[in-house]
Structure 1
Amino acid sequence: MTELQILSLCIYLGILGFIVSKTDFKQLLKDRPFQHKLFGAITCVFVLWLFRVSIYDGLVMHFLWLTALTLVLGLRWSVIAASVVLLGSTIIGQDTWSMFGVNGLLGLLLPIGVTYLIYMISFHRISRHMFVYIFLCAFFPGAISMALKMLSMSGYFYLDGFYAWNVIEYNYAQMTLLMVFPEAFFNGMTITCLIVYKPDLVYTFEDKFYIDGK
């Protein structure tokens, strides 16, 4: 492992450990509907991550679905769920162990953190409305998360000397534009369908804030 990979692993595990220490696991043991929601979300994201493309080793592109995951589970449980998915993906050989920390830091924590930050700003600073929630908390963060993930990974591969910048640019970084809109649409439609048909499944959405009296 390179120095950057070791540093990324330490930061990722440190943040993950802190989040786990602040999470109430009694809810998981006692709340059967929550168990179904959590394990169902983990399964869906894991299956989605199996569909990926790459031209060069490491320069992997796949949909994240982490914005929807964050809105459905909340910050702490989404980090834990995504980490389980990453662990499973690494165990079956879809990702390498040497990249575990980098994938966790840039591929999980960064998209989830950005999504939740945008949600919090929207909730506290902008008029609460269902369409504001759908577009500003689901579509927009989905696009931003994908862009940040791919661009930050591009920077990592360049700084760690895996590939020359022209290889990264033409075979990975430029693909960001092709991935941003589908990711935004995928997350936006997921959340739209859930808040219409199963709003009780979305942790960050409540009728009293976004619908009642509007």
Structure 2
Amino acid sequence: GLGIHFFLITVVHLLMGWQLAIWVAALAISGTIVLGLESPEGFGINMLVSVLIPLLTNYCVWLAHDRSKSTHPFSFIFLVAFLGAAASVITSGLMMTLILWSQSIYSFEQITNEFWVFIPLIAAPEATINGMLISILIFNHPEWVRLFDQNRYLSKHS
């Protein structure tokens, strides 16, 4: 259905890399099934919309930033963590819209009126939470953030 929740997949991706993030997210979704919060039939669609699409988006944002050769730590925090998280919510919403509309589960008008009005309301806090968590980690324990290159971002600014 038209459920909306925080992903925090950006933080998991930046901390662990995309491979381990998939396993961690699969475990989390399995936990919601065991607790009865989700049905087992929804595992595949939840993995696609809440994990794989956001991870692919985050990976593309990180890769584009990595290729930019920017060396300021704020660029990593703002562009990769903050904007990457917001972009993941939007791409996830687009995929969910495509699935729900193409399968005639909801009309496009209903999706637009009852789902898309919440996307900006969830994208902003998602971006803020992910940005704050990565900021805290980078400035306290940069070695924990696997995709953060300390030599690139911190050696010139120390």
Task: Tell me the TM-score normalised to structure 2 length.
Answer: 0.93
Map of 2:70 onto structure 1: 127
The runs of 4+ residues in structure 1 deviating greater than 3 Å are none
Instruction: Give the counterpart letter for 2:30 in structure 1.
Output: L
State how far apart, in whole Å, the 1-side matches of 2:88 and 2:150 are.
26
Q: Which has the larger Rg?
A: 1
Whether 2:7 is the aligned partner of 1:64: answer: yes
Deviates more, 1:58-67 or 1:162-171: 162-171
1:135, CA displacement in angstroms?
A: 0.6
1:141, CA displacement in angstroms?
A: 0.5
* 2:54 aligns with one of 111, 115, 118: 111
Whether 2:27 is the aligned partner of 1:90: answer: no
Map of 1:177 onto structure 2: 120
1:174, CA displacement in angstroms?
A: 2.0
Q: Percent identity?
A: 29
* 1:100 aligns with one of 29, 43, 47: 43
Q: Which runs of 5+ in 1 are unaligned?
A: 1-57
State how far apart, in whole Å, the 2-side matches of 1:70 and 1:93 are.
26
State the aligned residue count.
157
* 1:188 aligns with one of 124, 131, 139: 131
Q: Secondary structure at the match of 2:96?
A: helix
Q: Secondary structure at the match of 2:91?
A: helix
State how far apart, in whole Å, the 2-side matches of 1:152 and 1:187 are.
21
1:92, CA displacement in angstroms?
A: 1.8
State how far apart, in whole Å, the 2-side matches of 1:170 and 1:93 are.
29
Map of 2:23 onto structure 1: 80
Conserved? CA contact 1:68–1:191, under 8 Å: yes
Deviates more, 1:118-127 or 1:183-192: 118-127
1:107, CA displacement in angstroms?
A: 1.4
Conserved? CA contact 2:6–2:126, under 8 Å: yes
Task: Tell me the TM-score normalised to structure 1 length.
Answer: 0.70
1:100, CA displacement in angstroms?
A: 1.5
Tell me the C-alpha RMSD between the 2 structures.
1.3
State how far apart, in whole Å, the 2-side matches of 1:126 and 1:200 are.
20
1:88, CA displacement in angstroms?
A: 1.1
Map of 2:94 onto structure 1: 151
